[in-house]
Chains A and B, each alone.
Chain A
Amino acid sequence: MTRTLIATLAVLIAGVLAFAGLTRGFTVLTAESARRQAVAAAPIPIPELIGVDQQGTRRRLFESAERRVVIVDFIYTRCTSLCSALGSSYQRLQSAIEAQHLENAVRLVTVSFDPARDTPEVIHEYGRSLGAKPDIWTILQPLDPEALRRSLKVFGVVATPAPQGQFVHNAAFHVIDRRGRLSRIIDISHPDVALAAARRLYGAS
């Protein structure tokens, strides 16, 4: 009986440890929240992503020369749900950047993960309809699908094709620091927190 008790206790302890490891010490239950926590603890260098912006100019997701902090999100323009919410958040962020004179500190980038359909003409129209100012807010059609795939993986964005040409995807504000590292992932319901994080990151380095 004692041996069984010892064995049961050992199994229980191993189980608790396994769950603690899985949930980062009982703090996360989803891969998404685990990722946010990991990034905040240790920023991740991002791979280079080159694309064409809404004006047809070649741009990078992170322009290392200008060293502005970047807030980036990933969308597809035909999206009717999550991305339209993100679009209006970005409009508000753009106004806030102008109002607080942060044009040289914070840049907004919207990357399309459906570059086959989001051609330069489409993103031009998309940017125009949202009033995106190219100096502050870049809408990017990535040129190399392989580079896009790598970026999505690093940013932890999953876009699953769904019926009628739609995608089901996760979304967040991804904040890249001045050294080109993914430093914070912030929920889409808190654009103000994303901007505050960007300001802090700009001041920090």
Chain B
Amino acid sequence: MNATRDRVVLAGVASLAVASSLPPLSTLLVRFMLTQMLVQIPVIFLAAASLSAQIRLPTQTRWMRWNAQGAPGLLFSAIVLAFWMTPIALDGAAADSLWETGKIVSVVTAGISAGISWRLGSGVAHAFYVGNMVWMTVTAGMLYQESTERLCNAYLWDDQAITGQALVGVSVVLAVTWMLEVAGRNLRPLPRQGRRSD
């Protein structure tokens, strides 16, 4: 039952990601900074990450020794996402279809890389990755919020300011969710220990 529901959700996210990558929806999403940064890129990234998380990995293969703790994989994914937060790259994607294609390919690759590498990493690797993402997103959000000039030629100033606020909001939600998740996992008492203390 749960597996079926998961499969439906995954298929939904995947079709949404495919639609967001292709015209006419991609054209519409790229027209606004807010939808490019907070709808198109995250949807494509999350779809690629959650689909690749389903891939069953052989436990010990040669190539996995190149990706211990998922460190290079997670780093790659963080760098790609940071790249597509800079005004010059966003402008490029809005103005040039070659840039747009490059963006989609790289974000899909980053998602796959994160989906595979996340499982290999320990709590420390996860903390490093999530912390890095939150810090990057807050920085970009503050830059867009506080700039008095338009940083992208393709986008209006209002759009930029709202995108900045939304980026900060999203990263706060991301940080809190992750911390709650970690706390929930670590603070849950083991049933046996509970009985003993009675």
Which positions in A face B, CB cutoff 8 Å? Answer: 1, 3-4, 6-8, 10-12, 14-15, 18-19, 22-23, 28-32, 34, 156, 158, 160, 162, 168, 170
- Given known contacts A11-B79, A15-B79, A23-B86, A31 and B152 CB-to-CB distance under 8 angstroms: yes
**Please, how many angstroms separate the alpha-carbon atoms of A162 and B65 in the complex?**
54
- The answer to whether A12 touches B75 (Cβ under 8 A) is yes
**Please, how many angstroms separate the alpha-carbon atoms of A4 and B63 in the complex?**
10
Specify which chain B residues have a CB less than 8 angstroms from the CB of A28 in the assembled complex.
88
Residue-wise, chain B 75-107 has the 8 Å CB interface mask toward A (1 for contact) of: 110010001001111011001000000000000
B69 within 8 Å of A (CB atoms): yes
Which positions in B face A, CB cutoff 8 Å? Answer: 65-69, 71-72, 75-76, 79, 83, 86-89, 91-92, 95, 150-157
**Please, how many angstroms separate the alpha-carbon atoms of A23 and B89 in the complex?**
9
Specify which chain A residues have a CB less than 8 angstroms from the CB of B153 in the assembled complex.
30-32, 156, 158, 170
Specify which chain B residues have a CB less than 8 angstroms from the CB of A1 in the assembled complex.
68
- B79's partner among A18, A29, A160 (CB-CB below 8 A) is A18
Q: Across the two chains, which residue of chain A brings its CB closest to B91?
A: A31
Give the top 8 A-B pairs by smallest Cβ distance, nearest first: A15-B79, A31-B91, A4-B68, A7-B72, A158-B153, A8-B72, A7-B66, A3-B66
- The answer to whether B154 touches A158 (Cβ under 8 A) is yes
**Please, how many angstroms separate the alpha-carbon atoms of A15 and B153 in the complex?**
25
Q: Is the interface of A mostly helix, strand, loop or mixed?
A: helix
- The answer to whether A22 touches B86 (Cβ under 8 A) is yes
- The answer to whether A30 touches B88 (Cβ under 8 A) is yes
- The answer to whether B66 touches A19 (Cβ under 8 A) is no
- The answer to whether A7 touches B88 (Cβ under 8 A) is no
- The answer to whether A4 touches B152 (Cβ under 8 A) is no
**Please, how many angstroms separate the alpha-carbon atoms of A204 and B143 in the complex?**
40
- Given known contacts A11-B79, A29-B151, A4 and B89 CB-to-CB distance under 8 angstroms: no
- B72's partner among A4, A156, A158 (CB-CB below 8 A) is A4
Q: How far is the CB of A85 from chain B (nearest CB, A)?
A: 13
- The answer to whether B72 touches A162 (Cβ under 8 A) is no
- Given known contacts A8-B71, A23-B88, A30 and B76 CB-to-CB distance under 8 angstroms: no
Q: Other than the known A3-B68, A15-B76, A22-B89, what 6 A-B pairs have Cβ atoms closer than 8 Å?
A: A4-B69, A11-B72, A30-B88, A30-B151, A31-B88, A32-B153
**Please, how many angstroms separate the alpha-carbon atoms of A8 and B72 in the complex?**
4
Specify which chain B residues have a CB less than 8 angstroms from the CB of A29 in the assembled complex.
86-88, 151
Could you list some 24 contacts between A and B, CB below 8 A? Answer: A3-B68, A4-B67, A4-B69, A4-B72, A7-B66, A7-B71, A7-B72, A8-B71, A8-B75, A11-B72, A11-B75, A12-B79, A14-B79, A22-B89, A29-B86, A30-B87, A31-B87, A31-B88, A31-B152, A31-B153, A160-B154, A160-B156, A168-B156, A168-B157
Specify which chain A residues have a CB less than 8 angstroms from the CB of B154 in the assembled complex.
158, 160
- The answer to whether B92 touches A31 (Cβ under 8 A) is yes
